[in-house]
Structure 1
């Protein structure tokens, strides 16, 4: 029998759709050159420079799955701005024979909006069970950004789930990124699948993960130690003084 994971096995462009590759977001090289993405059963990373299309692609994957474009689980339907692309409508997904029991799309940039939506719904008299307590004992808006992220991971992420995270390290210290890795690993062992867009060399170190680099040539699978994130971090930590001297010398030359 086929394994239940990966819940999301692969995606590609729908061949029945006509696409204008001169228009955004199809003009982004990583999108334009997209043929097929095969997802790891446990963890798949999307990495690349700012503007490479990581968040755009992850958002499209999440919406194609059924998540709200601004984040949350499949019950969240709020919208503060209609700014997401229609890339999702051009994608064809290949899914497992078995659906996950739960899931969540975390967008670092709009998680505040998710927390606000939850607080507003909980404030409506007679609206039903409160949502906030499912995120922990303390209201999300009463916590720091990093604390609320960890509260989400610890309280809302359950076994048998699919989780899509857009730059979760944005609010997490290095120690809390390590804590997040521990939570991710625990959930992977309990039949969860993760798809993560990140800049973090700490998160990228997750063992045996599949890593896709998005750049001007398109989308390419690579290994952890071949990523720019690993190389730049390693070189800087091995010789911070030399790197800074070089950078500042270049700045003086430009002046």
Structure 2
């Protein structure tokens, strides 16, 4: 059973951003019945906005990391709290947890900088880096650093991830899915992931929520745009390319 089992929010009428996003208009009522949940939808649909609000509600730093990572010492992130964060209500089973990690692919560079700064203060930086793959995240390729973080930092807790596939090759995505499976089977981890990856989305028994103009709807893997468009394109790429290039000379 997932630790976080319900996410809900009533949206006041005539509200401003982010409540005025089409996907949020009817309110938010998400039942998380599995340990792996995906958010999908077009750019700007609100999936990352909700993901960030969930992370902040739990207590994670908005720049990424766990509760012990303080990427922005001296900055009061309550000043930047989204009104959506304040409006969200959670149900926990059996109790609230705050272990875990919030990762945003777009701010991973800053997180790697932060880890290097901490290492400078360590008596044994080589031992410190063992928790991040044995060396600075900046001294690994983008994909290697992502996977090193997943392998060594993900142990137990709730993991809120925004497009973790951004730096991963298809084979590395499969490796990441293996990590998810190991942690899920341990009963110690829950994942909520915003993604566009048709490979990642096929993770067995995951719950998928699609952010649509008519609200947030639970869908099957085969109903996601990532699956439909990718499958269609790979089956007849010439047709798509002729259409695109004829439309946009």
- TM-score higher than 0.5: yes
CA–CA distance in structure 2, aligned partners of residues 134 and 27 of structure 1 = 41
- The structure where helix makes up a greater share of residues is 2
What does 1:1-255 correspond to in 2, within 5 Å? 5-13=1-9, 19=12, 21-79=14-72, 85-99=82-96, 102-124=99-121, 131-158=128-155, 160-191=156-187, 192-252=189-249
Question: How big is each residue's C-alpha offset from its partner over 1:4-55, in whole Å with a ceiling of 9 and x where there is no partner?
Answer: x311011112x6xx84643111111122323311113321000000111111
Contact kept, 8 Å, 1:47 with 1:199, in 2: the verdict is: yes
Number of residue pairs matched by the alignment: 244
Contact kept, 8 Å, 1:10 with 1:36, in 2: the verdict is: yes
Contact kept, 8 Å, 1:166 with 1:198, in 2: the verdict is: yes
Q: Give the Å deviation of 1:118.
A: 1.6
CA–CA distance in structure 1, aligned partners of residues 198 and 89 of structure 2 = 30
Q: Give the Å deviation of 1:217.
A: 1.6
Cα gap change, 1:10/1:21 in structure 2, threshold over 3 Å: closer, same or farther?
farther
- Using the size of structure 2 for normalisation, the TM-score is 0.89
Question: How big is each residue's C-alpha offset from its partner over 1:72-104, in whole Å with a ceiling of 9 and x where there is no partner?
Answer: 011122239866633211111111124558311
5+ residue gaps, structure 2: none
CA–CA distance in structure 2, aligned partners of residues 28 and 127 of structure 1 = 48
Cα gap change, 1:28/1:100 in structure 2, threshold over 3 Å: closer, same or farther?
same
Contact kept, 8 Å, 1:122 with 1:130, in 2: the verdict is: no
Q: Give the Å deviation of 1:116.
A: 1.1
Q: CA RMSD in A?
A: 2.5
